[in-house]
Chains A and B, each alone.
Chain A
Amino acid sequence: MLRVATDIGGTFTDLVYITAGGKVGTAKSHTTTGQFEKGVMDVIKASHITPKEFISFIHGTTIVINTIIEMKGAKVALLTTEGFRDILEIGRGNRPDFFNLEYPKPKPFVPRYLRREVPERISFKGIESKPLDLSDLPAILDDFCAEGVEAIAISFINSYANSAHEEAALSKVKELWPEVSVVASYQITREWREYERTNTAVLSAYVQPIAHRYLDRLNNCLSEAGMRCTPYIMQSNCGVDTLKSARQIPITMIESGPASGVWGAAALGRLIGELNAIALDIGGTTAKCGLITNGEVKLNSNYMVAHNETSAGYPVMVSVVDLVEIGNGGGSIAWVDEFQRLHVGPQSAGAVPGPVSYGAGGMETTTTDANLVLGRINPNYFCGGTQIADMAAVYKELDKLAAILSSSQREVARGIIRIANNSMVNAIKLISVNRGHDPRDFTLIAFGGGGGMHACALAKELGIKKVVIPSLSAVFSAWGMLLSDLRRDYLQTQIVELSGAEAAAQINQALILLEEHAIQEFASENIERSQILFLRYGRCRYQNQEHFVEIALPDGAITSGQINAIIERFHTKYEREYTYRLEASAELVCYHLVALIEVDKLKPEKHPRTGRKLIAAINGKREVDYVEAGIHQATIYNGDVLEPGMSFIGPAIIEESGTTVVIPPGLPCQVDDFGNYCIQTA
């Protein structure tokens, strides 16, 4: 009787399982690119468990984002409204690298000859202004077929307001060419902005055949190995969905790994009474942070793939956890520019060759190498003792940087840590301060391989009072999946002026339609109405403004008397986020309906107390450089031996097989009932 979660990352495939008795096991295997299901089966084997015992299985995968970034998806064609053939190529016309006279604009995923127009038109009010004419469709599909098209996206103007034409085109394509993979924009989102919605449909079509094949192979492997339970797939909205449903619209998996990490932090926070938290996930290549307020995770639907300082990227209009991601992780490379200035990242040494200390031919000093030099990571217990840190090579490479900077090895190593910390501090400010929140009101929950190494220093810098390094922090994203419910997000753009009875009637009608749509969808999957919990939100703004805040709408039928309360809720939330309120009238622009279905998820249990003495966990002392807090003799604790109730004061280091926790001098650390390390930083 096992609950199992697996998470495919760029380097490793992680697994966490929990037995009926609450015993936890973890394992890591190498990710097997091209045959990801093999890595999953490998990690199951490495855990010494069998799919026959699974009572639940949740899976997160990077296959969708990798397929897009590596441009390895299907050959896609697009059907669009007459007059809008080039929307996909025009994009929004922006140019982030704005001094660059030869800016390379991102290429569309469908070349122009495969973008074909259909006569039709729906007005912004959802009224047909030109009937749909599909008389050319057979000839168009013949062309697509001859060109070797594997998937078709359909996106018509104003389909967010009325999807009838898209629906009709979709069923006609299915009828004429049943084998082809096809998706219409309304199946994914009902939000306005034609480029974003069209690109979302195109990218969904682009990954669909690959995701189908992968999920089918994974399902077969697991079934053949005797699994009986329904497999769930982690989604970007912090929920899971059935494999069958994820197979329909695979684009919603795009950020499943990071979502489960932030979700895990939120669930952990609710468990231990930390409802306001900043989740920080420091991996090998990047650091990601997300904000949790009142136990809730914020989602956005303006996600961008590969948007950065030099590229406009590609929008994907699905609900994705609100994240700030920066190119700063354990493998980030330190380098010196032609003006003798030290930088860290965003280039990463990755898994191969990896940091210099891996001894696998890496020639560029990384953050991990700097942590080793400063005694923060134990060179004799590197990667959980599975590898010997090649310190000779580390010093040799570090010496090169020191020579260029006319500095000492130690100062360069400290510089690397400080610069890395500073960019993480700025990232945390982006997710908190820039969204109207003071980080001092939050607890920092840090995980991933590097979370424990940097968290305390970041907290001090930001004035954060408490840091929590979760138990199982190295596989925390997989753990988070075990705590997720089945969740679907439905978004519908509609502009409603918030005043009086008419507004209430309009909102009620729209919500009923959305709920009925969800109920029907679930009914076809044998999920009953009584199992569904609906959460209803409205995205509201001042009239004519663009930016909205999302507020919860009351349950049940909304009365005209409640409209004023809704408006007041809007003003309050708006003022919090934007610092002022206006006398202007408010309008609702988009409904956001969340359907939750509780799945048989994990209920974390307290770790046992054996009465062991703290001294049993001490592995001696060593000199550790705490950078800004100086060099100290730190007590080294074996994390696998620490148990609830134990407490101690820094300078200390906790060593576990997958992670190291750095506790600066004077800071008290306590192991809580669930095995988390709670450090008071102020």
Chain B
Amino acid sequence: MTKQYDPITIEIIQSSLQAAADEMFAALRHTAMSAIIYEVLDMGTGITDKNGELASSGAGIPGFVGVLDKTVKWVIEKFKKLGDIEPRDIFITNDPYNGGVTHLNDIVLVMPVFVDDEIVAWTANIAHWNDVGGMVPGSMSTNATEIFQEGLILAGIKIFSRGKPIQSVFDILTANCRMPDFLTGDLWAGVASVRVGEHRILEITNKYGKDVFLHAVEEYMNYGEQVSLRALKRVPKGKYSLVEEQDKGPAYKVAIEIRDDEFIIDLCGSPDQDKGPFNMSRDEAVTACQMAFKGVTSPDKVVNGGTFRPLKVLTRPGSVFDPIYPAAQGIYYEITIRLYDLIVRCLAQHMPDRLPAGSFASVCGTLFGGTHPDTDRQYAVIEPELGGWGGSSHSDGNSGQFSAAHGETYNCPAEVAEARYGVTVDYLSFHDDEGGAGLHRGGKGVRIDYRIKSDNAWLTVAYTRSRIPPWPLEGGCQGSLNYVLIIRASGPIERYSVVSGLMLNKDDIIRVMTGTGAGWGNPMQRNLELVKEDLKNGFITEEQANRYYGLEKRASNA
């Protein structure tokens, strides 16, 4: 006879699992030292079941929702000998070839939760560390050709044994990093977070019992699967494919098949791996596909291992989406957003009423650093940039929004940046680059001017969509490009989209320009009142109002 479980108890446990992941998130954010964690929220937390299937996620960004389960599964596999894993152990990895999924800057901590000598769950978190060594400050170099150049590799090792820190691992970490204070602070923040999760789970198992807990987690996965299957029913079935030209290098290719109960993404036709760091691990390719799958099917917050059961991802070893060791992967995030955008674009052409036109679709990762002019201390800025999103069947795109890979990510206020880094922010507003006209227009991209205040500063950027602009739908116009202008104090202006360690001196200006999203629908059909409003608001010029929207002609015909 199967045991009967009270459905309300099961639901309460499930909502407590979500609360626990959120609490882990709050603990990590609260205690981290680096702005990239607490402000940009380049971090995530999660709880998995005993087998490493995601049970709940406290991620601040969608790109980190599907990462932690893959790490836990990997740790379980590596430490499978009895006694390898003990209560209050904590494991650390950052190696995409060994369960680290993303790139060496992202540190994952995982902790088993034991009840009566049995693992009932895992808690885990991921956070971007400012620097993990490697060939350049900030560790990510667009020139890296092997992963060894991208920093210290932690290939899934124990860092806490039975609750006690393993000092030699700490010593190796701090000795291999340019900013050891930050590393230590961020590491302890991660430790506090996995421990909070462990504590919460033990409270649940103490109150309701181990069996009820395990059943609740299993049921939760089934529920996640049900939500996905139900949502899948509403998506048009069929086979779709797209070949997309890239800013540089060969075209990417995706084939998607949507069935009643399956969503298959085939990336096998994609190009060989990049010689530089523009690669992503297979695990990360799956994560990007999960993000797109979730956005296309049911964007609500229920997300766990069950959610992604209908999704199948096919990759080809040796390709950009599944590179062979020791290929560099430092700029993986730009490939994530490319792949995500590729999938959405492939489907949007066939379901333009469900999906919006293309956005600026780049993380626009901007790294610069140097010496604070007042304190002589080194500073390093690592931030994604805001840009414009595409119009959709029923509204204009958002202006000044982080990419789809982000969520509760906050930009750095100009006032904070000035005090913290000693740079001057001369400008932070929308720009007037042309693009995005449509029945529903694209949202505006952003221009930021950073004036450098001391000599010997450096800049690293890796933007995509800097040659091929955001894609329109239903007769709209394409968006504008992402790029950086360097306005030298001596006068010359240089344009970049990918550059590493570019030297800058006092009063040089870094001008970040992010894309305006693409338009949806024929601009000639845009409501004239809205066109006049755009003109009044300075979102378009009079000349553009006439050229794209036929303002004068349509007004006189009316």
Residues of A with Cβ closer than 8 Å to B?
A: 83-87, 89-105, 111-113, 123-124, 129, 157-158, 160, 192-196, 309, 338-339, 341-342, 405, 407, 411, 414-415, 418-419, 422-423, 426, 429-430, 433-434, 495, 542, 544-547, 577-580, 582, 584
User: A422-B12, A546-B38 are known contacts. Are A93 and B401 too (CB-CB below 8 A)?
Assistant: yes
User: A83-B428, A426-B19, A546-B39 are known contacts. Are A94 and B418 too (CB-CB below 8 A)?
Assistant: no
Q: How far is the CA of A103 from the CA of B386 in the complex (A)?
A: 15
User: A103-B398, A113-B537, A195-B413 are known contacts. Are A580 and B31 too (CB-CB below 8 A)?
Assistant: yes
Whole-angstrom distance between the Cβ of A665 and the nearest chain B Cβ: 20
Q: Chain B contacts of A87 at CB under 8 A?
A: 414, 428-429
Does B15 count as interface, using CB distance less than 8 angstroms? yes
Q: Chain A contacts of B226 at CB under 8 A?
A: 339
Q: How far is the CA of A341 from the CA of B15 in the complex (A)?
A: 12
Does B536 count as interface, using CB distance less than 8 angstroms? yes
Q: Chain B contacts of A495 at CB under 8 A?
A: 419
Does B124 count as interface, using CB distance less than 8 angstroms? no
Whole-angstrom distance between the Cβ of B26 and the nearest chain A Cβ: 5
Interchain CB contact under 8 A, B411 and A93: yes
Whole-angstrom distance between the Cβ of B451 and the nearest chain A Cβ: 11
Q: How far is the CA of A509 from the CA of B409 in the complex (A)?
A: 37
Q: Chain A contacts of B62 at CB under 8 A?
A: 98-99
Interchain CB contact under 8 A, B15 and A422: yes
Whole-angstrom distance between the Cβ of B231 and the nearest chain A Cβ: 10
Q: How far is the CA of A446 from the CA of B61 in the complex (A)?
A: 36
Interface centre among A112, A113, A194, A196 (most CB of B within 10 A): A112
Interchain CB contact under 8 A, A84 and B8: no
- For window 404-429 of chain B, which residues contact chain A by CB distance below 8 Å? 404, 406-411, 413-416, 418-420, 424-429
Which of chain A's residues has its CB closest to B37's CB? Answer: A546
User: A87-B429, A93-B411, A99-B291 are known contacts. Are A105 and B8 too (CB-CB below 8 A)?
Assistant: no
User: A84-B428, A101-B299, A418-B8 are known contacts. Are A582 and B185 too (CB-CB below 8 A)?
Assistant: yes
Does B295 count as interface, using CB distance less than 8 angstroms? yes
Which of chain A's residues has its CB closest to B401's CB? Answer: A93
User: A113-B538, A160-B415, A422-B15 are known contacts. Are A544 and B409 too (CB-CB below 8 A)?
Assistant: no
Interchain CB contact under 8 A, A95 and B181: no
Whole-angstrom distance between the Cβ of B13 and the nearest chain A Cβ: 10
- The answer, among A90, A415, A419, for a CB contact under 8 Å with B446, is A90
Interchain CB contact under 8 A, A98 and B418: no
15 contacting pairs across A/B (C-beta < 8 A) = A84-B429, A85-B429, A86-B444, A89-B400, A93-B406, A95-B407, A99-B301, A102-B395, A103-B398, A105-B398, A192-B416, A193-B415, A418-B12, A430-B26, A546-B35
Whole-angstrom distance between the Cβ of A557 and the nearest chain B Cβ: 27
Whole-angstrom distance between the Cβ of A454 and the nearest chain B Cβ: 15
Q: Chain A contacts of B12 at CB under 8 A?
A: 418-419, 422
Which of chain B's residues has its CB closest to A414's CB? Answer: B8
Q: Chain A contacts of B299 at CB under 8 A?
A: 97, 99-101
Interchain CB contact under 8 A, A100 and B295: yes
Q: Which 10 A-B pairs have the closest CB atoms?
A: A98-B407, A90-B400, A112-B537, A86-B429, A99-B299, A83-B427, A124-B418, A100-B299, A92-B410, A93-B386
Does B543 count as interface, using CB distance less than 8 angstroms? no
User: A95-B402, A341-B223, A433-B23 are known contacts. Are A579 and B409 too (CB-CB below 8 A)?
Assistant: no
Q: How far is the CA of A235 from the CA of B228 in the complex (A)?
A: 47
Interchain CB contact under 8 A, B399 and A90: yes
Q: How far is the CA of A91 from the CA of B344 in the complex (A)?
A: 26
Q: How far is the CA of A495 from the CA of B538 in the complex (A)?
A: 38
Which of chain A's residues has its CB closest to B417's CB? Answer: A124
Q: How far is the CA of A113 from the CA of B425 in the complex (A)?
A: 23
- The answer, among B35, B386, B413, B418, for a CB contact under 8 Å with A123, is B418
* Given A434-B26, A580-B188, 13 additional A-B pairs, CB 8 A: A86-B428, A92-B411, A95-B408, A101-B404, A157-B415, A411-B8, A422-B12, A430-B23, A433-B23, A434-B30, A545-B33, A578-B30, A580-B31
- We find that the number of chain B residues with CB closer than 8 angstroms to chain A is 77
- For window 218-242 of chain B, which residues contact chain A by CB distance below 8 Å? 223, 226-227, 230
User: A95-B406, A101-B344, A579-B31 are known contacts. Are A86 and B11 too (CB-CB below 8 A)?
Assistant: no
Q: How far is the CA of A104 from the CA of B16 in the complex (A)?
A: 29
Q: How far is the CA of A98 from the CA of B400 in the complex (A)?
A: 15
Q: How far is the CA of A430 from the CA of B23 in the complex (A)?
A: 8
Q: How far is the CA of A579 from the CA of B413 in the complex (A)?
A: 28
Does B465 count as interface, using CB distance less than 8 angstroms? no
Interchain CB contact under 8 A, B414 and A194: yes
Interchain CB contact under 8 A, B424 and A545: no
Q: How far is the CA of A193 from the CA of B413 in the complex (A)?
A: 6
Interface centre among A124, A407, A418 (most CB of B within 10 A): A124
User: A83-B428, A338-B230 are known contacts. Are A104 and B395 too (CB-CB below 8 A)?
Assistant: yes
Which of chain B's residues has its CB closest to A85's CB? Answer: B429
User: A158-B415, A495-B419 are known contacts. Are A111 and B295 too (CB-CB below 8 A)?
Assistant: no
Interchain CB contact under 8 A, A86 and B400: yes
Interchain CB contact under 8 A, B16 and A426: yes
Q: Chain A contacts of B424 at CB under 8 A?
A: 123, 129
Does B50 count as interface, using CB distance less than 8 angstroms? no
User: A86-B429, A113-B536 are known contacts. Are A578 and B192 too (CB-CB below 8 A)?
Assistant: yes
Q: Chain A contacts of B301 at CB under 8 A?
A: 99, 309
Interchain CB contact under 8 A, B294 and A99: yes
Q: Chain B contacts of A434 at CB under 8 A?
A: 23, 26-27, 30
Interchain CB contact under 8 A, B61 and A98: yes
Does B74 count as interface, using CB distance less than 8 angstroms? no
Which of chain A's residues has its CB closest to B419's CB? Answer: A124
Q: Chain B contacts of A193 at CB under 8 A?
A: 413, 415-416
Q: How far is the CA of A422 from the CA of B204 in the complex (A)?
A: 12
Whole-angstrom distance between the Cβ of B36 and the nearest chain A Cβ: 11
Q: How far is the CA of A415 from the CA of B424 in the complex (A)?
A: 57
Q: How far is the CA of A183 from the CA of B398 in the complex (A)?
A: 29
Q: Chain B contacts of A102 at CB under 8 A?
A: 356, 392, 394-395
Whole-angstrom distance between the Cβ of B126 and the nearest chain A Cβ: 16
Q: How far is the CA of A108 from the CA of B203 in the complex (A)?
A: 43
Q: How far is the CA of A546 from the CA of B226 in the complex (A)?
A: 41
Does B539 count as interface, using CB distance less than 8 angstroms? yes
Contact mask for chain B residues 416-455; partner A; CB cutoff 8 A; 1 contact, 0 none: 1011100011111110000000000000101001000000
Whole-angstrom distance between the Cβ of B299 and the nearest chain A Cβ: 4
Whole-angstrom distance between the Cβ of A29 and the nearest chain B Cβ: 38
Q: Chain B contacts of A339 at CB under 8 A?
A: 223, 226-227, 230
Which of chain A's residues has its CB closest to B413's CB? Answer: A193
Does B355 count as interface, using CB distance less than 8 angstroms? yes
Interchain CB contact under 8 A, A419 and B8: yes
User: A158-B418, A434-B26 are known contacts. Are A95 and B401 too (CB-CB below 8 A)?
Assistant: yes
Q: How far is the CA of A633 from the CA of B506 in the complex (A)?
A: 81
Q: How far is the CA of A650 from the CA of B428 in the complex (A)?
A: 63
Interchain CB contact under 8 A, A98 and B395: no
Whole-angstrom distance between the Cβ of A512 and the nearest chain B Cβ: 23
Q: How far is the CA of A91 from the CA of B444 in the complex (A)?
A: 13
Q: Chain A contacts of B145 at CB under 8 A?
A: none
Which of chain B's residues has its CB closest to A436's CB? Answer: B30
Interchain CB contact under 8 A, A96 and B408: yes
Interchain CB contact under 8 A, A101 and B355: yes
Q: Chain A contacts of B419 at CB under 8 A?
A: 124, 192, 495
- The answer, among B8, B31, B35, B426, for a CB contact under 8 Å with A342, is B8
Which of chain A's residues has its CB closest to B423's CB? Answer: A124
Interchain CB contact under 8 A, B410 and A94: yes
User: A91-B400, A98-B62, A194-B415 are known contacts. Are A578 and B31 too (CB-CB below 8 A)?
Assistant: yes
Which of chain A's residues has its CB closest to B344's CB? Answer: A101
Q: Chain B contacts of A547 at CB under 8 A?
A: 30-31, 38
Interchain CB contact under 8 A, A579 and B407: no
Q: Chain B contacts of A194 at CB under 8 A?
A: 413-415
Q: Chain B contacts of A85 at CB under 8 A?
A: 429-430
- The answer, among B184, B344, B408, B415, for a CB contact under 8 Å with A94, is B408
- The answer, among B27, B181, B399, B404, for a CB contact under 8 Å with A584, is B181
Q: Chain A contacts of B23 at CB under 8 A?
A: 429-430, 433-434
